[in-house]
Amino acid sequence: MSRIKPINTKAQKIAETVHRDVRGYAFSDCCASFAPGWEVGTGDNPDPCPWKHDLQLCWVTCYWMGQVPDTNSYGSWLDTCNNINDDWRNLCTIPDNG
């Protein structure tokens, strides 16, 4: 949206909402539109990145199982990634929970 710049708080909020509420109309740069899970509504999830939606939401709300981590063996797999922006590197590591 390089030609239209939101300049007050309300505009920024609306612009963000638009990015989050993708539902099949738009996608962010990092992910192709056919990746599973991104199309589930993400009302409360503040991350615009569809990747995280796949990883967190897919196994709960989506029938598509392709990218679902093995949550049975590794129940706390996401604990090291509270914030996708800061902690994304941790996503590749399975926490050693003994």
Written as one letter, the residue type at 8 is N
Tell me the site size for other proteins, rule CB under 8 A.
15
- Decide: is 32 part of the binding site for other proteins (CB under 8 A): no
Q: Give me 97's structure tokens.
A: 């929970």
Residue from 24, 26, 91, 92 binding other proteins (CB under 8 A)? 26
What is the spatial distance between Cα 80 and Cα 18, in angstroms, rounded to a whole number? 28
Residue for token pair 């993400």: 42
Comparison of 31 and 91: residue with beta carbon closer to other proteins: 31
Q: Name the residue among 90, 78, 76 with its Cα closest to residue 53.
A: 78
DSSP conformation class of 88: G
Stretch that binds other proteins, among 13-21, 36-44, 48-56, 89-97 (CB under 8 A): 13-21
Cβ 28 to other proteins shortest distance, Å: 13
Give the residue with the Cβ less far from other proteins, 9 or 73. 9
